[in-house]
């Protein structure tokens, strides 16, 4: 088949598509290789609110988060489909309310006043961050990529070296599939179940991460509200559990009584690409077969949207030397 492209990105979720766009902007001819269309990836069911869920601090992670926040903020101003800036409140329990490491990535984080906190909560933060409706955003990413000359190849591979048929430079943005494609046993599914309900007029996202009964969040969108959630590492089942859905509804309604009686519109389950050692973003010292440059960009867990554009910048910089201009 020959080297028809300068670079091929394996994976068409938000990590793969943002990386493909950045490679294009660097002057590369790019293909995206995917077993599923973007609308069927894990990204398609993400609640997709900027927030580094279960992501530990590293200087490079803060850089990725900052770059991604800034890019989404620009896109919100430009009217990119599905991207809006939304007020968020994080409610805290317990005694320690240190400012989180990721606060440095956003323009402002305010500590809630005493009269803004009640019930079991002892503090909280207010901040404004991007919300990305993936049903609108993923098609925009794909269309932008295609309009700029990109090619989407629907093909399932069982080893990364097979991608070398299309290009000398390969970015592995395969998410959970990286467990099989490059034998990374640190990669596991982190099952997330959501309940979608009609929006009775709410505009502010609300989080209660320290709820002993389970992670609890309420994320309004343009026509519905995402209620969650779960973070079940090692669970592969993508069938919604009625008992889990009932527990999510109960926790979210306890947190925000205005949700009582909101019509349920649907149930979703996604398998986040969790990696024990955190995100793998590096050039592989041992590329295989015809691949001259292999860059890994996977293992984002529940923070794919939060880190996507920053990781796309970093992956593109690692690929750059192997890519022929134009």
Nearest residue to 205 via CA among 139, 319, 125, 312: 125
pLDDT at 322: 52
Question: d(Cα 75, Cα 93) in Å, to the nearest integer?
Answer: 34
**What spatial distance separates the first Cα and last Cα of the chain, rounded to whole Å?**
20
Instruction: Convert the pLDDT of each residue in 262-310 to its tens digit.
Output: 999 999 999 999 999 999 999 999 988 889 999 999 999 999 999 999 9
For strand 293-298 and strand 280-283, is the pairing parallel, antiparallel, or unpaired? antiparallel
Contacts of 200 (CB under 8 A, 6+ apart): 258, 259, 262
Q: 324: closest CA among 1, 5, 2?
A: 5
Q: How far is residue 39's CA from residue 35's CA, in Å, rounded to a whole number?
A: 12
Q: Using CA atoms, how far apart are residues 169 and 151, in angstroms rounded to an integer? A: 15
Q: Are 30 and 142 in contact (CB under 8 A)?
A: no
Tokens matching residue 99: 């400012």
Average pLDDT over residues 312-317: 98
Q: Which residues pair with 270 in a beta bridge?
A: 192
How many other CB atoms sit within 10 Å of the CB of residue 249?
A: 17
Q: Three-class SS of residue 93? A: coil
pTM for this prediction: 0.95
- Supply the CATH classification number for the domain 7-322: 3.30.9.10
List, for residues 8-61, the tens digit of each pLDDT value: 999 999 999 999 999 999 999 999 999 987 777 777 777 889 999 899 999 999
Task: Band the pLDDT of 321: cuts 50, 70, 90.
Answer: low
Contact yes or no for 140/82 (Cβ under 8 A): yes
The tally of CA atoms less than 13 A away on the side-chain side of residue 204 is 13
């Amino acid at each position: 088949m020959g080297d028809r492209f300068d670079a091929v990105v394996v994976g068409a979720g938000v990590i793969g598509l943002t990386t493909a766009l950045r490679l294009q902007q660097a002057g590369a001819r790019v293909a995206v290789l995917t077993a599923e269309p973007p609308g069927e990836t894990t990204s398609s069911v993400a609640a997709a609110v900027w927030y580094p869920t279960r992501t530990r601090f590293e200087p490079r992670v803060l850089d990725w988060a900052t770059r991604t926040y800034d890019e989404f903020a620009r896109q919100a101003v430009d009217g990119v489909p599905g991207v809006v800036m939304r007020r968020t409140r994080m409610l805290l329990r317990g005694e320690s309310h240190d400012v989180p490491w990721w606060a440095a990535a956003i323009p402002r984080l305010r500590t809630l006043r005493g009269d803004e906190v009640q019930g079991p909560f002892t503090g909280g933060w207010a901040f404004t961050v991007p919300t990305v409706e993936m049903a609108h955003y993923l098609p925009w990413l794909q269309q932008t990529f295609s309009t700029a000359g990109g090619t989407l190849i629907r093909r399932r591979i069982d080893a990364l070296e097979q991608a070398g048929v299309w290009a000398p430079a390969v970015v592995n943005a395969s998410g959970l599939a990286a467990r099989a494609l490059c034998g990374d046993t640190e990669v596991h599914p982190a099952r997330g179940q959501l309940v979608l309900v009609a929006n009775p007029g709410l505009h502010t996202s609300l989080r209660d991460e320290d709820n002993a009964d389970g992670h609890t969040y309420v994320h309004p969108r343009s026509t519905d509200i995402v209620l969650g959630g779960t973070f079940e590492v090692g669970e592969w089942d993508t069938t919604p559990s009625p008992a889990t859905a009932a527990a999510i509804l109960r926790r979210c309604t306890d947190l925000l009584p205005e949700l009582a009686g909101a019509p349920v519109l649907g149930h979703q389950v996604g398998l986040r690409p969790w990696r024990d050692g955190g995100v793998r973003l590096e050039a592989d010292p041992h590329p295989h077969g015809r691949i001259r440059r292999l860059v890994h960009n996977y293992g984002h867990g529940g923070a794919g949207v939060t880190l996507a554009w920053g990781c796309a910048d970093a992956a593109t910089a690692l690929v750059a030397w192997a890519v022929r201009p134009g």
